[in-house]
C-alpha cells in the first residue's frame, strides 16, 4: 500500500488528461484513489493555464465511466453470491456492498446517479447495477452524468479558489466530501418528494 501511495503522489504531481482518466478509472473501480485528490488539483492547474477545465472535467467523467463499467461487468458476469463470499479478496467490503445494494434497490436509476456523489458507495454502486441487469446504455449515461457533475464541482473548486483549497481538501478530503454529499442528498430528497406530490386538479 505504501508503494501504491507513492505512485499515486507521483502521478498527481504531473497531472495531465491521461493521468486524470487513469486515476478516475481507478477511483470508480475498487482502488482507494480519492476523486478530490485528482480533480481539485486539476482545477487549480486549469486556472494556471496548464489544463482546460472542460477537458479536465470530461477526462474525469470518462475515467469514471471506464472504472464503473469494470465494476458493472464484474457484477453482471460474476454475480452477487460470488461477490458476497469472495469480495474481501477484491477489496469489496460486504457491509458497504449491502448498503449500496439497498440504495440501488430503492430506486435503481436515481441510485446510480446519486451514488456518484457518496464516498465509498461510488466505488460499489456499479456492482448491483450489473448484478440486477440494469441496461448498459442507461447505466453509462447516468454514471457519466453523475460523474461529470461531481468532477465539474471539484474542478470549479480548484479553479476558483486556487492553492489554499487544494491544500485544505487534500488534508480533509473525507470531511469535504461529506458536506457536499449532505447537500446533494437533501436536494435529491426534495426533488423526489416534489415529484410525488399529487397534481392539483384543473378547474372544469
Q: How many domains is the chain built from?
A: 1
More confident residue, 16 or 197: 16
In a domain, 200, yes or no: no
Does any domain span residue 202? Answer: no
Whether 13 has a pLDDT exceeding 80, the answer reads no
Identify the residue whose cell numbers are 485528482.
38
* pLDDT, tens digit, 9 for 90 and up, residues 106-149: 888 888 888 888 877 787 888 888 888 889 999 999 999 999 99
Q: What is the mean pLDDT of the chain?
A: 79
- Is 204 a member of any domain? no
pLDDT digits (tens, 9 = 90+) for 38-92: 898 899 889 989 999 999 999 999 999 999 999 999 888 888 888 877 777 766 7
The reported pLDDT for the residue numbered 25 is 93
pLDDT at position 21: 95
Are residues 97 and 127 in contact, defined by beta-carbon separation less than 8 angstroms?
Answer: yes
Distance of CA 145 to the CA centre of its chain: 10
- Asked if residue 21 belongs to a domain, the reply is yes
pTM, two decimals, is 0.73
Running DSSP on this structure, what letter comes out for residue 56? H
Q: Is residue 203 part of a domain?
A: no
Q: Is residue 51 part of a domain?
A: yes
Q: What percent of the chain has pLDDT over 90?
A: 28
Cα-based distances in Å from 202 to 10, 195, 196, 197, 198: 63, 18, 18, 15, 12
**191 has pLDDT over 60:** no
Q: Is residue 201 part of a domain?
A: no
Confirm if 95 and 110 have CB atoms less than 8 A apart.
no
Q: pLDDT-based confidence at 1, cuts 50/70/90?
A: very low
Is 116 within a domain?
yes
Range of the domain at 154: 2-193
Amino acid at each position: 500500500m505504501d508503494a501504491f501511495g507513492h505512485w499515486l503522489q507521483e502521478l498527481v504531481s504531473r497531472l495531465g488528461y491521461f493521468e486524470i482518466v487513469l486515476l478516475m478509472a481507478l477511483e470508480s473501480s475498487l482502488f482507494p484513489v480519492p476523486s478530490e485528490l485528482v480533480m481539485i488539483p486539476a482545477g487549480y492547474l486549469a486556472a494556471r493555464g496548464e489544463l482546460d477545465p472542460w477537458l479536465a472535467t470530461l477526462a474525469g467523467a470518462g475515467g469514471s465511466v471506464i472504472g464503473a463499467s469494470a465494476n458493472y461487468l464484474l457484477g453482471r458476469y460474476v454475480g452477487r453470491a460470488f461477490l458476497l463470499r469472495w469480495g474481501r479478496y477484491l477489496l469489496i467490503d460486504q457491509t458497504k456492498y449491502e448498503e449500496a445494494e439497498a440504495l440501488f434497490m430503492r430506486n435503481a436509476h436515481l441510485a446510480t446517479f446519486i451514488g456518484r456523489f457518496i464516498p465509498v458507495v461510488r466505488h460499489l454502486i456499479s456492482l448491483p447495477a450489473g448484478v440486477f441487469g440494469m441496461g448498459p446504455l442507461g447505466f453509462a449515461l447516468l454514471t457519466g452524468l453523475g460523474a461529470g457533475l461531481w468532477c465539474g464541482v471539484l474542478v470549479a473548486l480548484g479553479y476558483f479558489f486556487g492553492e489554499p483549497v487544494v491544500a485544505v481538501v487534500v488534508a480533509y478530503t473525507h470531511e469535504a466530501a461529506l458536506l457536499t454529499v449532505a447537500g446533494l442528498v437533501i436536494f435529491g430528497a426534495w426533488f423526489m418528494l416534489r415529484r410525488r406530490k399529487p397534481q392539483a386538479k384543473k378547474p372544469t
